[in-house]
Amino acid sequence: MSAPTLSRTSTRLTHRLLNPQPPYRCLSCCRYLAQSQEPANHSGPTPTTHFGFQTVPSSSKQSRVANVFTSVASSYDTMNDLMSLGTHRLWKDYFVRSINPGTRDCEEGKGKGQTILDIAGGTGDIAFRMLEHCTVVNKDHASKIIVSDINPDMLAEGKRRAREGGHDHSGRLSWLEANAENLHTISDNSIDLYTVAFGIRNFTSKALALREAFRVLKPGGVFACLEFSKVNNRLVEALYKRWSFGAIPLIGQLVAGDRESYQYLVESIERFPGQEELKGMIEEAGFLLPGGEEGKGWEDLMGGIACVHKGVKPLG
């Protein structure tokens, strides 16, 4: 062994010994650790839910989801663009346009504007679009938006974007760190519009979140949800599965350096109930479904890859 190689090896060794590196942290480790730490004896019937393809105790889903979003917060936009080939922007635009938030004649001083609650909207994607729709399309400068997310890292990302995009000067955006299943800081019958875009999938209990949505909404208020769903064409489905299970974790690994989070993402999409089931849940929570006789109560985007569900809280 030549002298330079030896010295380099020794330097590396001493470096490692003197500065012990922090344990390598990523979601895959968290998942691995969580699995290894799971109690061996399943004596008590602990309530379980699914986390991707795994079945986990309900109590741990929240922290697991938190880990996923903490690790993806910074590369969120790039990843969304790559994974959906840019179409997530179209879906979000369409979602906001179809809801048409904002009241038309509030510039005449008649209306007070609306109170909009954007759940799981940490990065502000939907909130900024709604704010713009209110202001530009409906000339509504009064409506207010509460952006709520369970994850402080996602909220921080949203606040940063609000600053950069110049949205925070209006004073119409407020930020709330809360669990969608328990919105105790928001009073009953106080919200005009409740939106949740690509979030409901990650809720531990969807029924609980829907009940909470029903509680906070005013009579006549609207629940609107944009979420991945079941593709209704076999051929498209085959291609879509190929893409989501083959390409997305790989892109995650290459771009965000985190394969496991994106593996969770595609698994959670796969596990998420289809259109019919979610419609049933919304109906069960007490909402009126749009569309009447012919309407199905939902609207498929791109053949069902994503889907818009809406519900209106009835009067009285």
Partner 1 sequence: MAAAVPLLHTRSYSLNLFGLISRIQELDRGLMNNDYHKATARRLEHEAPSPFSPTEDAILSAALAHVPTHGFTTTALTHGARDAGYLDISTNLFPTGAFSIVNFHLVTQRLALAKHASSLQPHADIATNIRSLALHRLHANKPIAHRWQEALALLSTARHIPTSLRELALLSDELLFLAGSTTVTSAWYTDRAALAAIYAGAELFMTQDRSKGFAETEEFLTRRLEEGEKVRGGLDMVGKWVGMQAGGLVDGLRSKGVWI
Cβ neighbours, 10 Å, residue 72: 23
Compute CA 279 distance to the chain's CA centroid, rounded to the nearest angstrom: 18
142: contact with partner 1 by CB under 8 A: no
Output the smallest distance, CB 96 to partner 1, in A. 12
Triad 60, 158, 206: Cα angle to 5°: 35
Triad 148, 97, 121: Cα angle to 5°: 15
Candidates 28-36, 79-87, 169-177, 213-221: pick the segment binding partner 1 (CB under 8 A). 213-221
Q: Contacting partner 1 (CB under 8 A), which of 27, 222, 266, 305?
A: 222
Candidates 123-131, 153-161, 219-227, 237-245: pick the segment binding partner 1 (CB under 8 A). 219-227
DSSP letters, 252-285, are IIIIIS-HHHHHHHHHHHHHS--HHHHHHHHHHT
Q: Contacting partner 1 (CB under 8 A), which of 101, 124, 199, 249?
A: 101
Cβ atoms of 308 and 95 within 8 Å: the answer is yes
Q: Contacting partner 1 (CB under 8 A), which of 67, 114, 123, 229?
A: 114
Is 105 annotated for ligand binding? no
Cβ atoms of 91 and 225 within 8 Å: the answer is no
Q: Is the CB of 165 or the CB of 291 nearer to partner 1?
A: 291
Q: Contacting partner 1 (CB under 8 A), which of 99, 145, 248, 306?
A: 99
Candidates 47-55, 76-84, 163-171, 214-222: pick the segment binding partner 1 (CB under 8 A). 214-222
Is 149 annotated for ligand binding? yes
100: contact with partner 1 by CB under 8 A: yes
Cβ atoms of 222 and 99 within 8 Å: the answer is yes
The residues, any chain, with a CB within 8 Å of residue 228's CB and separated by 6 or more, are 198, 201, 269, 272, 305, 306, 307
Residues 17-76 that bind partner 1 (CB under 8 A): none
Is 179 annotated for ligand binding? yes
Q: Is the CB of 49 or the CB of 103 nearer to partner 1?
A: 103
Per-residue binding letters, 292-311, with partner 1 (x by CB under 8 A): xxxx---x----------x-
Q: Is the CB of 150 or the CB of 196 nearer to partner 1?
A: 196
Cβ atoms of 160 and 74 within 8 Å: the answer is no
Among 245, 246, 243, 223, which Cα is nearest to 235's?
Answer: 243
Cβ neighbours, 10 Å, residue 193: 22
Binding residue numbers for S-adenosyl-L-methionine:
123, 149, 179-180
Residues that bind partner 1 (CB under 8 A): 98-101, 103-104, 111, 114, 192-193, 218-222, 224, 288, 290-295, 299, 310, 312, 314-315
